[in-house]
């Protein structure tokens, strides 16, 4: 250890390039394929993912790496101790951090912050990321930007260009982002569910604030990001940040308040992919055997290159693998150590794990077999994932999209329909008790296998599809494309917004009701306005509403206070009588939020909207405006410009504006007079 310490000590603290490697994806997207195996030991072309990641980190010149083990820590530790990574002469210093209580990226970051392990910009990488990006120059770029141009830059996200519908992103959550064209600063970031169609809404301000904005829908997430040392701290400050998406959204939304920025960068001609679904796992497997990630190719990942024979058509055969006569290895095939393939088989884009036994006349297409699978004669497996030790009896047929977990045994010439998910042990009953679940009928008599039910959670709309079909049915696509454009415009809008909108709408509604509650309570119990402001601010962070939304919602909430709790509407005079004390009480609140011209405008619009469906309010709008004007909350120029901007108004709005016509006239006169006075003063 001393020699390694010497190495890091000899470098200046800021020159040490650090990386944080997460060995978990904190989700079950790959279940049931790896239900019991830790993600980091998941084999990709017969090599565990963690070996790819560590090899990559070492080769790209990272000096110090923190591996976070969150689940199955013992198995991963055992694997690591058997490799050269932890040995003394490895050029990269590896610190294994066990954190079994971490359930998300946010927890890991908070742990990093608590332990104060990070001194410089660091690479944040998940173990399920396969790449050959030359990362150190990109990290230097990030550091330089942080030092010179933008001190608030906290993160650079790396993306790989991939056209929509590209196999690597087809089944994952899609990335939609807008960025400043010159600097790459992200101003908008949204995740859309896979195969979504319809419309998206961009906030207008992103176009107003930048001279040029790039909109990207041609990017695939790489799972790589370069973080400033302040990132763990930010996670610690915002306990509600769980994932990187939360973080990015939080930073972008609060950019004005906190002054932090996020940048994006494309990795160019290098390869980078993030395994975030079973379909992507298959795609990345094929990309590795297709040599897209060169120099990360199977024979370089093998401890002894001579053990793995690579021939044309990308067939990788381990020295000890046996292949029967008449078997065709058609391309992109990897045979692990000790695997044996019978005669007259046909293998195309298949990975056969170490120790697998394949009978005669077996067909494998787009299949991944983990270690120790046994397939009887005439088995047919298409586009499926088979966990370790799966046994298929002779004649079994797996249709595309099957995933069999460890230890599943299929007896008889069973036929598994598309999208079958089976596990080898009965699923745990959360509520205890109940009868033991029946084995699935599909596995035949004497077989072992239970239907796997993916857990439904609220984020399910965003979670990637299970192992879907290779191609999306094109006919269906074009059909829905036409119809959504013409007939069901509104519907499609709703459908796509479904990814985010319900959440957003719910959030704002929740936020509104919470604010209203605090205000009503504050008014009744005479709570000091400062405390109310604090309360409103904390609700704002909890529900992630924008500043403009906040302003208008606070105004609306204040206006709703007089009638809160009563069903009937008050008449105009009574309403005004009750509104006036409310307004006086909350004047400090308004002064706090309504500061800029923009916020004044949103306040005015909120007043207008509220008056539109409230006759009493519309009657006394002029008086309220007058009060706000007198208290210097609204300036006359804003009122005038609001009134002048009368395009596309609804009839109610026009009526409301007529109510305040007098006030506006008076304001205009006053302004002209003052101008006159000024000009007179000038001339005299």
Partner 1 sequence: MRMEELSPTAERLVSEFVRTTRRQGAVPSRQVADRTLELLRQLVSEPGWRQTAQLVGQLRAAGRQLAAELPTQPAVGTLVCRLLKMAREEHGAHDEVHEARPHGAPPSQVDSLHRRLTAGRGAAPAADLSSELTGLRANLLAGLDELQTELDASADNIAREALSHIHADDVVLTAGRSATVLAFLRRAARERAFHVLVVEGAPFGGGHRAAAELAALPRRVHVTVIAESALFAMMARVNKVILGVHTVLADGGLRAPVGTQALALAARFHSVPVIVCAPSYKLSPQFHRGDQQEGFLESVSPESVLPYADGALVGRARLTCPLFDYVPPELVTLFVTHTGGTSPWYVYRLLNEYYDQQDHEIVQV
Binding site for partner 1 (CB under 8 A): 59, 89, 132, 160-170, 218, 269, 271, 283, 286-287, 290-295, 300, 304-306, 309-314, 331-332
Compare residues 281 and 579 and give the one whose CB is closer to partner 1.
281
From the CB of 285, what's the least distance to partner 1, in Å? 12
Please identify which residue in the block is written with the tokens 């035949």. 444
**Rounded (5°) CA angle 159-160-162:** 130
Closest among 546, 554, 563 to 516, alpha carbons compared: 554
Compare residues 81 and 311 and give the one whose CB is closer to partner 1.
311
H-run or E-run covering 142: helix 135-148
3-class state of residue 69 by DSSP: strand
Phi, psi of 147 (to 5 degrees): -80, -35
Closest among 9, 5, 1, 265 to 123, alpha carbons compared: 265
* Residue 443, token pair as written in the block: 């596995």
From the CB of 24, what's the least distance to partner 1, in Å? 27
Cβ contacts of 582-587, under 8 Å, gap ≥ 24: 582/523, 582/558, 583/558, 583/624, 583/627, 585/522, 585/523, 585/526, 585/529, 586/519, 586/522, 586/523, 586/529, 586/532, 586/558, 586/561, 587/631, 587/633
**d(C-alpha 449, C-alpha 445), whole Å:** 11
* Residue 53, token pair as written in the block: 């990641």
Compare residues 150 and 218 and give the one whose CB is closer to partner 1.
218
Compare residues 8 and 300 and give the one whose CB is closer to partner 1.
300
Q: What is the DSSP letter of 334?
A: E
Compare residues 223 and 359 and give the one whose CB is closer to partner 1.
223
Compare residues 471 and 613 and give the one whose CB is closer to partner 1.
471
From the CB of 440, what's the least distance to partner 1, in Å? 31
From the CB of 306, what's the least distance to partner 1, in Å? 4
From the CB of 488, what's the least distance to partner 1, in Å? 27
From the CB of 650, what's the least distance to partner 1, in Å? 44
3-class state of residue 104 by DSSP: coil
From the CB of 489, what's the least distance to partner 1, in Å? 27
> How many other β-carbons are positioned within 10 Å of the β-carbon of residue 435?
6
DSSP for 365-405, please give it: ES-EE-TT-EE-TT-EEES-EE-TT-EE-TT-EE-TT-EE-
CA distances to 248, 267, 325 from 220, in Å: 16, 11, 42
* Residue 297, token pair as written in the block: 């190719």
From the CB of 385, what's the least distance to partner 1, in Å? 17
Q: Are 149 and 216 in contact (CB under 8 A)?
A: no
Compare residues 68 and 159 and give the one whose CB is closer to partner 1.
159
Compare residues 162 and 653 and give the one whose CB is closer to partner 1.
162
* Residue 160, token pair as written in the block: 């790989």
Compare residues 76 and 279 and give the one whose CB is closer to partner 1.
279
Compare residues 71 and 291 and give the one whose CB is closer to partner 1.
291
**d(C-alpha 230, C-alpha 416), whole Å:** 51
From the CB of 173, what's the least distance to partner 1, in Å? 16
From the CB of 218, what's the least distance to partner 1, in Å? 7
Compare residues 468 and 522 and give the one whose CB is closer to partner 1.
468
**Rounded (5°) CA angle 38-42-43:** 160
From the CB of 330, what's the least distance to partner 1, in Å? 10
Compare residues 350 and 561 and give the one whose CB is closer to partner 1.
350
Compare residues 211 and 269 and give the one whose CB is closer to partner 1.
269
Which residues lie below 8 Å from residue 255, measured CB to CB, with a gap of 6+? 261
Q: How many residues does the chain have?
A: 684
From the CB of 313, what's the least distance to partner 1, in Å? 8
From the CB of 249, what's the least distance to partner 1, in Å? 26
CA distances to 173, 278, 350, 405, 511 from 382, in Å: 24, 14, 9, 16, 49
From the CB of 353, what's the least distance to partner 1, in Å? 21
Compare residues 56 and 586 and give the one whose CB is closer to partner 1.
56
Compare residues 317 and 614 and give the one whose CB is closer to partner 1.
317
From the CB of 164, what's the least distance to partner 1, in Å? 7
DSSP for 557-604, please give it: HHHHGGGTT--SPPPHHHHHHHHHHHHHHHHHHHHHH--SHHHHHHHH
The dihedral of CA 629, 635, 641, 642: what is its sign?
negative
3-class state of residue 482 by DSSP: helix
Strand order in the sheet with 219-227: 93-98, 64-69, 18-22, 122-126, 219-227, 153-161, 261-266
**d(C-alpha 40, C-alpha 27), whole Å:** 13
């Amino acid at each position: 250890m001393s020699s390694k310490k010497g190495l890091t000590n000899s470098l200046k603290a800021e020159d040490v390039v650090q990386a944080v490697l997460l060995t978990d994806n904190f989700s079950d997207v790959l279940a049931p394929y790896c239900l019991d195996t830790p993600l980091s030991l998941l084999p990709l072309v017969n090599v565990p993912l963690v070996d790819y990641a560590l090899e990559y980190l070492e080769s790209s010149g990272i000096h110090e790496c923190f591996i976070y083990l969150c689940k199955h820590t013992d198995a991963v530790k055992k694997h690591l101790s058997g490799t050269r990574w932890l040995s003394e002469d490895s050029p990269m210093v590896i610190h294994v951090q066990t954190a079994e209580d971490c359930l998300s990226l946010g927890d890991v970051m908070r742990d990093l912050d608590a332990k104060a392990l990070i001194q410089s910009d660091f690479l944040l990488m998940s173990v399920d990321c396969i790449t050959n990006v030359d990362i150190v120059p990109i990290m230097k770029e990030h550091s330089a930007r942080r030092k010179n141009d933008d001190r608030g830059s906290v993160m650079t996200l790396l993306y790989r260009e991939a056209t929509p519908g590209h196999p690597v992103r087809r089944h994952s959550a899609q990335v939609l982002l807008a960025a400043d064209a010159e600097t790459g600063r992200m101003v908008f970031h949204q995740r859309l569910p896979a195969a979504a169609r319809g419309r998206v809404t961009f906030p207008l301000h992103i176009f107003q604030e930048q001279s040029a904005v790039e909109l990207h829908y041609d990017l695939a997430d790489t799972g790589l990001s370069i973080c400033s040392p302040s990132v763990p701290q930010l996670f610690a400050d915002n306990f509600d940040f769980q994932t990187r998406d939360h973080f990015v959204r939080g930073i972008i939304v609060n950019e004005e308040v906190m002054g932090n920025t996020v940048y994006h960068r494309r990795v160019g001609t290098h390869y980078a992919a993030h395994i975030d679904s079973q379909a992507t796992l298959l795609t990345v497997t094929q990309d590795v055997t297709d040599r897209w990630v060169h120099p990360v190719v199977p024979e370089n990942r093998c401890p002894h290159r001579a053990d793995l024979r690579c021939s044309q058509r990308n067939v990788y055969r381990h020295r000890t693998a046996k292949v029967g006569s008449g078997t065709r290895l058609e391309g992109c095939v990897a045979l692990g150590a000790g695997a044996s393939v019978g005669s007259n088989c046909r293998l195309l884009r298949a990975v056969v794990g170490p120790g697998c036994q394949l009978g005669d006349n077996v067909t494998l297409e787009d299949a991944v077999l983990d270690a120790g699978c046994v397939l009887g004669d005439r088995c047919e497996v298409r586009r499926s994932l088979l966990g370790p030790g799966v046994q298929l009896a002779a004649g079994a047929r797996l249709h595309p999209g099957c995933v069999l977990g460890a230890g599943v045994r299929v007896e008889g010439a069973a036929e598994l329909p598309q999208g079958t998910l089976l596990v080898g042990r009965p699923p745990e009953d959360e509520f205890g008790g109940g009868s033991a679940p029946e084995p699935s009928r599909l596995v035949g008599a004497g077989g072992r296998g239970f239907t796997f039910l993916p857990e439904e959670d609220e984020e399910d709309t965003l979670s990637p599809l299970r192992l879907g079909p290779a191609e999306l049915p094109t006919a269906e696509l074009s059909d829905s494309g036409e119809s959504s454009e013409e007939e069901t415009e509104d519907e499609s809008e709703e459908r796509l917004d479904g990814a985010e909108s319900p959440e957003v709408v719910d959030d704002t509604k929740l936020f509104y009701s919470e604010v209203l509650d605090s205000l009503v309570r504050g008014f009744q119990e005479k709570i000091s306005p400062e405390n109310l402001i604090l309360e409103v601010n904390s609700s704002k962070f909890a529900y992630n509403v924008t500043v403009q939304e906040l302003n208008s919602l606070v105004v609306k909430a204040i206006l709703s206070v007089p009638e809160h709790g009563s069903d009937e509407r008050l008449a105009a005079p009574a309403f005004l009588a009750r509104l006036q004390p409310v307004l006086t009480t909350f004047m400090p609140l308004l002064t706090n939020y309504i500061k800029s011209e923009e916020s004044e405008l949103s306040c005015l619009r909120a007043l207008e909207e509220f008056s539109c469906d409230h006759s009493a309010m519309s009657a006394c709008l002029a008086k309220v405006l007058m009060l706000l004007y007198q208290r210097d909350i609204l300036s006359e120029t804003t009122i005038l410009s609001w009134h002048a901007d009368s395009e596309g108004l609804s009839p109610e709005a026009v009526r409301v504006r007529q109510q305040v016509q007098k006030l506006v006239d008076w304001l205009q006169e006053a302004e002209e007079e003052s101008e006159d006075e000024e000009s007179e003063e000038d001339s005299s």
